[in-house]
Every structure is written in C-alpha cells, then in structure tokens.
Structure 1
Amino acid sequence: MQAWKKKKSLMRAPKFSTVLEPMEREVLGDLTATVSEAIIARAQSGPKDELAQMLDMPTGHSEAPEDPSLARLFPDFEKPGDEEFEGDASLLRSIHENDIARAKLKNLQVINAALGPTGGVAVTISEQEAHHFLAGLNDLRLFVAAGEVVGEAASADRDSLVEWLAYCQDSLLQVLMD
C-alpha cells in the first residue's frame, strides 16, 4: 500500500488517495464483509421485546458478546473496579448497542464503497469519508486482534494483518492532521 496523500484543490474540498496492492484490496474487502456479517448477526440475534416494538423503542442484547472479537467492538459500558454509577449497564447496552452497530456498519460500508465494485486498487475519498474510513479501519483492527487463532503461523499472520491495518490507519490519520 502506498501512503495516503492529500490532493488539494482551489475550488473543491480536499481528497485523500492511496493505491493498494491487489491482494491488500482483496483482504480489506473480505475483512469488511466478515466484520459486517458478524455485526449484523449480533444485531439480528437480539431479543425481541413486544412492548418496545409497539412503542418504537430500540432494544437489543443486554449482555456483552461472548465472541472475543465482537466483545472488542461492543465492550461493556462499565468494567469491574470502575467507580459505580447510578444506572444499569445492561439497560444501557440494550438501548444503545443497535445504534453503535449501525454506526460501525456505516463506517465499513464507506470502506467497501471506496474500494469500488470493479476491484480497482486506487482509492480516493473525501474528508468526511476519511473519518468513517479511519473508524472502520480501527474496528477491523480491533476485531482481528481479538480473534482466536490456532497455531504459531496463524498468530504471526494475524499480527502482520493487525500491523498492516495500523499502518493504513496511521498513514490516513497523518494526512488528515496535516
């Protein structure tokens, strides 16, 4: 992957571009699909509350995901040892998790849209899309890093993928901050 570059224009908002290797583009596309499917499956498996549906209130899971990769994307609102707050963490989760999932899916959708349907390796995005792209890369990195792997080779592959995603994220962040 080439480092991200900022293209300035006198009359238009800046654009950000990079060129991926074909294999990198394929890996990024596959990862966004895998993580999107996991998020959608989590949202669809939530318990249904008839009263909440009648009142058009959001409802979702009240417990954290058991899958470590999803648990990184949907952490608890409070951790053991945190200062107590008045409220119910499971209630907060059931109300807000679907909104968080929707935002994460939008970020991943921006990545997919930037990759394009034709399999091109040149990626150009607007500044607003760059923020979604960054958040999506972060979710991909967290999902992969927390995943369970078997064997030393799989662990090395996972670590390399996490490092590459971190590089993509850092490169885009640097040009955004410029």
Structure 2
Amino acid sequence: MQGWSRENERLVATVTPQEAAVIRGLVGQVRDMLAGRAHEAPRDELAELTGIRTGPTTAPDDRVLARLLPDFYRLDQEDPGDTGEDRDDAAGAMRSLYEPEVVQAKSDVATMVLETCPSQGGGIALTDQQADGWLTALNDVRLALGTALEIDEETPDELPEDDMRREHLGVYQWLTWVQDSLVGALLT
C-alpha cells in the first residue's frame, strides 16, 4: 500500500493480496469476538416484545473485549457519596442499555470493511462515510491487537528478535500507518 489519497469524491488506495488478507483477517476476528459477546446477552421477553435490546450487565472477562467495550460509568473520585456499589449498579445498567448498540455499530463497520476490502488485493475506493467506518474498524483492530500484545507508551518501536511479539508489533505499526494515512487523506 502506498497510502490513501483523494481522487474526486473518493478516498482511494491499493492493497496487495497479503495486506488485504491481514486487514480482512484481523477485522473479521474482531467482528467474530463482538458477535460472541452479543450472543451472551440475556434473553428478555419484554425486550423481544418492544424491540429494545438489552445486553450483559457485567464487563467482558476477556481483556481484549473489555478494552473494546469499556465501562460506561466510572466512580467519581471527588464525590464521597459515589461508592463502589453505586458505580457497579450504574455501570451494569448503562452497559445493559448501551452495549448492544455499541456492539452493533462496531460490527457494522467491520462488515463494511470486509465488503470494501478486496479479498485478493486491488483497488479500494471509499466515500467519506465509508472512510470513517474504516477508521473505526482499524481503531478497534489496533485496540484489540495492542491489548493482546500488551503494547503501551513504553513499548519500543522495535522488539528484540527473541520477543514473540516482534512480528505482530510490525503489523500493529503498519495498521497505525494505514490509519494515519487515511486520516490525512480525509483532511485534504
């Protein structure tokens, strides 16, 4: 990939078969993880009648999913009346109400990336709205990969040859570049 550019009203890039496989594989894995989480949602007769979906009240046990689906409410450190129990109740209620929408939105952009990224490599042409979806999906992949690899601000740009994360760090850095290139093209 040479980077994203704007041509007329589209953002365009060309990916090699290997690049397409990496993007499609990682985005597909994130979408599958989210689908698994959606299947954990409790079945509620009222929700089935009203169409209002509810989700789990607790954060995911998997640390990658927990990074993709953080708590919606956090304890207010400056409010002495905000106890851990209050936070847990509020966080559970907020998660139950909003997580299904977040999972659906993340799944939708992942599906859109899979639909617009050619499986054998080749040209990609996106509208601005599709590019926003790509940015969201790439961000989710980077969050998931960064969490799995335990990447933080102290992680060096290059890991020792004997570090098992070395090759995956290169993929993480490439995805960061792809995302940055797309942001740059969107701003032109």
Instruction: Name the TM-score, length of structure 1 as normaliser.
Output: 0.86
SS in 2 for 1:46: coil
> What is the letter of the counterpart of residue 125 of structure 1?
L
Q: Distance in 2 between matches of 1:89 and 1:83?
A: 18
Match of 2:6 in 1: 6
Partners of 1:145 and 1:158 within 8 A in 2: no
Q: 1:148 to 1:172 in 2, by over 3 A?
A: closer
Number of matched residues?
171
Q: Identity, % of aligned pairs?
A: 29
Match of 1:89 in 2: 91
Match of 1:36 in 2: 31
Q: Distance in 2 between matches of 1:59 and 1:83?
A: 31
After TM superposition, the structure 1 = structure 2 runs for residues 47-126 of structure 1, keeping only pairs within 5 Å, are 47-80=42-75, 82=77, 88-116=90-118, 119-126=120-127
Instruction: Name the TM-score, length of structure 2 as normaliser.
Output: 0.82
Q: What's the C-alpha RMSD, in Å, of the aligned pairs?
A: 2.2
Question: Where does structure 1 differ by over 3 angstroms across 4 or more consecutive aligned residues?
Answer: 79-87
Give 1:58 deviation, angstroms: 1.5
> What is the letter of the counterpart of residue 3 of structure 2?
A
> What is the letter of the counterpart of residue 97 of structure 1?
E
Q: Distance in 1 between matches of 2:163 and 2:41?
A: 35
